[in-house]
Amino acid sequence: MISVIIPVFNREETIKRALESVFNQTYKDFEVIIIDDGSTDKTLSLAKEFPVEIITQNNHGVSHARNRGIEKARGEYIALLDSDDEWLPKKLELQIAKQSICCHTEEIWIRDGVRVNQMKKHKKGGGDQFIPSLGLCLISPSSVLLKREVFDEIGMFREDYPVCEDYDLWLKLTSLYEIDFIDTPLIKKYGGHEDQLSRKFFAMDYWRIKSIDWILQNRKLSSQQREACLKVLAKKTRVLLNGYQKHQNMDNFSEIQSIRSTYFS
């Protein structure tokens, strides 16, 4: 069985589309767990129109909501779906056939109602994806199917990260496992809306740097992997520190400077 985990906060305009895409799947052995993270609109009443388990809580953020759903899950596999995204009908069927630790898929990007092409830097793949994942997040939560046991090994989403919690988790995953990839678009990923987290945080490399530092401190890396980590870390810390100084935003300056000085003289 697959446990489908959907965190949601004030998404009355999209939750029905997301849920319909789950119940239109050709693969039917699943449960759906919705974690309503303190919605104040009609999200909850719309979700109740479907045969789902609903967990309600005060607003704690997407990582806390996902983690709570994973803890409640009864399936051998976990599928994540953001409440503003949409699955295509054969997603679960094609992924479960892989029987892999982690399988993600190609995706269709839609921004402000218009389909957009992904840039070369967003190219996804399978196998050893650790080094490609250092620069930016290449795995969308809505596209993955993971074995439940993976979370016992790598931990849950970091709840102290307001953004880049997925980047952090995928680095921990890909530093230990190779992953599968289906080179067919099996989700529609929607962007451009005002409450999109990536639009609220401009210095997102702050959290990516912290994640790379964690990897360097806690994983046994090959020489090639370590060299790649240090190369990305050098660039990201330099750019971020220059940006902090330019904009006189010194709140996290000393922390990033300390991380940089740990690895570079």
Average pLDDT on 80-103 reads 98
Percentage of the residues of the chain whose pLDDT score is greater than 90: 90
pLDDT digits (tens, 9 = 90+) for 2-51: 999 999 999 999 999 999 999 999 999 999 999 999 999 999 999 999 99
Whether 227 and 249 map to the same domain: the answer is: yes
Q: What pTM did the predictor assign?
A: 0.93
The DSSP bridge pattern shows strands 114-116 and 102-111 to be antiparallel
pLDDT at 194 over 70: no
Residues 110, 146, single domain; the answer is: yes
Segment 171-176 shows an average pLDDT of 98
By residue range, what is the domain housing residue 167?
2-195
* pLDDT at res. 183: 97
200 found inside a domain = no
Residues 243 and 148 in one domain: no
Predicted confidence (pLDDT) per residue in 212-233, tens digit: 999 999 999 999 999 999 999 9
CATH number at residue 61: 3.90.550.10
Annotate the chain with DSSP letters as a single string: -EEEEEEESS-TTTHHHHHHHHHT-S---EEEEEEEES--SSHHHHHTTSS-EEEEE----HHHHHHHHHHH--SSEEEE--TT-EE-TTHHHHHHTT--SEEEEEEEEEETTEEEPPPGGG----B--TTTTTTS--S-GGG-EEETTHHHHH----TT-SS-HHHHHHHHHHTT--BEEEEEEEEEEEE--TT-GGGT-S-THHHHHHHHHHHHHHS---HHHHHHHHHHHHHHHHHHHHHHHHTT--TTHHHHHHHHHHH--
- Look at residues 153, 171, 195 and tell me which one is the last residue of a structural domain: 195
Model confidence over 131-165: pLDDT tens digits?
999 999 999 999 999 999 999 999 999 999 999 99
Please indicate, yes or no, whether residues 103 and 234 belong to a single structural domain of this protein: no
Local confidence band at 191 (pLDDT 50, 70, 90 cut-offs): confident
